[in-house]
A and B are shown apart, each in its own frame.
Chain A
Amino acid sequence: MKLNRREFLALAGKSSAGAVIFAACGIPEQELLIQSPVDMPEDLVRGEDAWYATTWGDGGNGDGMIVRVMQGRAKKVAGNPDFPVNLGKQSLRYDATLQMLYHPDRVAEPMLRHSKGGNLSGTSWGNAERRMLSALDGSNGRLVVVTNPLRGHVGWVSTRFAETFNGRHVNFDPLEQGVLHNAVRKMFGTNQLPDFDLGRSQTILSFGADWLSTWISPVRLGMKYGEFRGQSERGYMIHAEPRMSMTAANADRWLSPNPGTEGHLALGMARLIIDQGWASAGEVNAFHAAVPAGILDGYALEDVASRTGVSADRIREAAERFATHRPSVAFGGGSAAAHTNGSFNLAAIYALNFLVGAVGAEGGITLNPESPLAEIPASATGASFEAWERELAEWRAGNINTVIIHGVDLVHSLPRSVDVPGALANVPNVIAFGTVMNDTMAQADLVLPEKTFLEDWGTHVPEPAPGYQVVGFQQPVVGPTVTQDGAGLTSDARSFGDMLLWASGGAIGASNMRELTERAAGELFDMNRASDSVNAPNASLFLGGVLQRGGWWDTQSQTDQSAAPEALGAGADPEFSDTSALGDGRDFFLQPFQSHSLMEGQLAPTPWAQQAPDPMSSAVWDTWAEINNNTAEEMGIREGDVLYIRSSTGEVEVLAYPHPGVPPNVIGVPMGQGHDFGGRYAEERGANVLSILVDRKDAETGALAWAATRVRVLRAGRRKKLTKFEGNVEAFPVEPGVPLLIVAPGETAHEAEEANHHEYQRQFLGQNGTEPDDSH
């Protein structure tokens, strides 16, 4: 997308948001130069609004945002219409970030704990700085910096900072994508997660990942799904996941394999495709490079059916559709990866793409290039659970003097069994940065109020990229918030990056994040790409352009699409934790799932995230368990019954929500609640399912197999109204097609309405005028 200013204006004029980016018109040079509103007093006096572009690195994959600012206050967050990853689209989580910025319980000032076991009490930045320096003093070789996976300059700073003190920088990701990265590396020989060209696929075959709601790049994938549905030749989507997630609900065919058997299902389909000759010889060879023929021996259709619990007909139907209606694409992750055989599952799933020639093809998988910025990786993932167990052992052993934590809540996100608080207790200096208090900050010796991404500078390389190189640029869209009485700031927060740069005493070679951000722009300017998104005569105008568009991208920077797969080892069956010693109750496979609004808890402090109805249950403000309606009936469980969910390492109490979208042997529980600390809206609310996960790991990567926990479920005998948006009647239509009309392919709405009406009347007179059985 190469544009001069005139074309750019024209394009921006088309998108309402884009248009107002240019609301402040003036002399072109000034116009291109977008500053932080803090330095723009005129913005404060005029009623005019301005939209500033930035990027949300912490929100997972680094989508582009624009923020409406009026009189120094952020009013609305929206997708950045220019940013190639999400093209102006957004998820409900974007808006919630605004309530993190203006959260009533933002940490107002630094807090200090004078002795372990003592209380945190407010202190000045002066004291805090002294405390931090003294801590670092004795930390040479005994420092650990913990952050969420960062693919930008903050991450780079964290790593450099750790190195300055001969320490470690360790990433943490509650639902680490290590297994996914491993599978992608093995199958496609690349470190970057690929992009999926769903908009042009005819068949989508996905496994485990709730990709329309929460998985890796949900907004982009949602966008592509829209295009997929909009094709003149309607595409067909197959999704295999034990529990009916939002993604499963949108599939044309939902398969519910036994947890952990997704890999077997994939290979079963592969074998069928090959045996039926639905794939060309070339494709079969390409496939065998990834999956040696011998491995398929054990995958006769009937065996696969019995192992996965999916009927042979359904498997055949899916395999045929996948192989014969192309372009097709297969991908997976999420719960499919979270098993002891997770790496095998994903490798098998991604291998399917070779069978349909999907790699690098239109409507298939697009491999992504590396980051354009030296030193800034285009891919990052949390360290494995195994690595974390080792790490925490170090802490517990007292070998670590200082731990600096940013962007993660270890105490809340790691299983109770690994006892993070115990480990932290043996680290003399735990320094935690954060916006709103969380369970980890509450354990720290020094709590430092941190700027949100809306107040800070930075860069983020989105992952997955859209098939070419992209760098998102983050700038402060608002200054510090003054309290209503004007007495002071609601939060005297500082930038995490700036603090590290300061504490490194210049060793990293930059004084603040703004400088680094501008330097990054300079680096891109110097590459002098002909095909990139901003062209400007000089570096400073280039910087302006980049900040204004919220990033830089080069549509001509695709990478080579040839993939050299590494042969897959023999398939293994999933192993689950043991429940024999857990007393009475019935056993289930526990399927924890990421909340579409709270994520694993990051957004739990915000009302907008708390009140957003869950797509399936419409439940809000609480933690519930999705259980099959007939199973529930057998167990005498009604909606709102309190259930004990016991694993061998712990127990949580949740409210039952029976519905037909769960297999009888599975129980689904959302993540994100159960915080002891988290501000007025999150505290003491619901339960934390992550805390009862058992330490099963993926055999290859050592990643936490968070779907490998078996639980025993028991009624507590108490009830509480499950807070939800749905009314007091099970929502089955009272009349076919009303209000939600379903048509068969080619059938017109009118025909469907007619047919439904007659169908309905027949139903009735069949039952001599009594009410239809689905009317309650």
Chain B
Amino acid sequence: MTTEGYGSHRWGMAIDLDRCTGCQACVVACQAENNIPLNFEDRFDRSRAFEWIRVERYWEGEFPDVKARFMPILCQHCNNAPCEPVCPVFATYHNSEGLNVQVYNRCVGTRYCANGCPYQVRFFNYWEPVWPESLRNHLNPDVTVRSRGIMEKCTFCIQRIRRGARQAARENREIQDGEIQPACVQACPTQTLNFGDWNDPESRINQMKNNDRSYTLLPHLETDPNVVYLAKVDPHKEVTHHAEAESGVH
């Protein structure tokens, strides 16, 4: 992955698909942490539900030999983010720590970035987000409440990154690996989700990346994601041999 142009940190995630149970804890934790608009019935019916991190479920085969597979997907914070160049107003751009950030008050609502994003992790406020007065009590003061006409997406919980950095600075020490945990990572019971700094060679995510199950989503698009996946293991998968594979058409 590219490291040029980055400061001392380049945040990223490693996601082990072999651990994900599809429990949705990450999804709701994110919604709670990031003041994500409530997904009422019509939001789903109009395919406008907000899930900065979502769990996709794929079927394979038919009963009784059917498999269901779960896959958490969030903003991949691509180093070559196709969502960025298309934004006419730099409302979405790459920061010096590898984050694809979203400046709400610059966004003019063209939704071009959402078309540009191959991973479908961008969400548009077709309606003004509303909470009953009493539910506003649990809004997170560290996170802007968006308004209608604004694009939003996973921020890697930048507010937590900042808090962690401040905390470390106050105790003048380096940020320790695993100290900063985005809401989804902290919630995930199975440690499917792991957050860390690619620039720290010792970090857990770097160790995971060296696992030979590691891959990135849609590599042919050259988006160079900061999120790495570890393939799901299926002991019953029969391997198509290489020799056979080579004989395939090129």
Interface residues, chain A, CB within 8 Å of chain B?
A: 13-17, 19, 47, 70-71, 73-79, 86, 88-92, 94-96, 98-99, 101-104, 106, 212-213, 218-219, 222-223, 225-226, 229-230, 234, 236, 244, 246-247, 249-250, 252-254, 256, 481, 483-484, 490, 596-597, 607-608, 611-613, 615-616, 618, 620-622, 628-630, 659-664, 721, 723-727, 730-733, 739-745, 747-759, 761-762, 765
Contacts and interface: CB of A to CB of B under 8 A. Distances in A.
Interface of B: 16-19, 21-25, 27-29, 31-33, 38-41, 44-45, 47, 49, 51, 54-64, 66-71, 73, 132-135, 137-141, 160, 163-164, 167, 176, 178-181, 183, 186-192, 212-215, 217-218, 229-242, 244-249
Given A607-B135, A723-B45, A755-B245, 20 more contacts: A14-B178, A16-B164, A76-B32, A76-B33, A78-B29, A79-B186, A88-B186, A95-B32, A104-B132, A226-B189, A249-B69, A254-B64, A484-B133, A597-B28, A748-B212, A753-B215, A757-B248, A759-B240, A761-B248, A761-B249
A749 B25 contact: no
A229 B29 contact: no
B57 A225 contact: no
Contacts of B167: 19
B70 A249 contact: yes
Nearest to A96: B28
A484 to B, nearest CB: 5
A765 to B, nearest CB: 6
A92 B39 contact: no
Contacts of B17: 740-741
A751 B56 contact: no
In order of increasing CB-CB distance, the 6 nearest A-B pairs are A758-B248, A226-B190, A222-B189, A92-B28, A104-B132, A249-B68
A102 B59 contact: no
B63 A663 contact: yes
Nearest to B51: A725
A490 B19 contact: no
16 contacts: A19-B179, A78-B186, A92-B23, A222-B189, A223-B190, A225-B21, A230-B19, A253-B236, A615-B22, A615-B57, A622-B41, A731-B57, A733-B60, A739-B218, A742-B69, A744-B237
Given A250-B22, A660-B61, A226 B192 contact: yes
A236 B66 CA distance: 17
Nearest to B120: A727
Most buried by A among B58, B62, B66, B213: B66
Given A749-B215, A761-B249, A660 B63 contact: yes
B232 A630 contact: no
A74 B247 CA distance: 61
Contacts of A79: 186-187
A91 B189 contact: yes
Contacts of A225: 19, 21, 189-190
Contacts of B31: 95, 608
Contact of A234 (B51, B189, B233): B233
Nearest to B140: A75
Contacts of B190: 222-223, 225-226, 229
A199 to B, nearest CB: 11
Nearest to B41: A621
Contact of B232 (A92, A244, A607, A740): A740
Nearest to B185: A16
Nearest to B238: A744
A612 B242 CA distance: 42
Contact of A99 (B138, B180, B186, B238): B138
Contact of B54 (A17, A74, A725, A748): A725
Nearest to B133: A484
A736 to B, nearest CB: 9
A493 to B, nearest CB: 13
A723 B23 CA distance: 19
B143 to A, nearest CB: 10
Given A618-B57, A741-B231, A661 B66 contact: yes
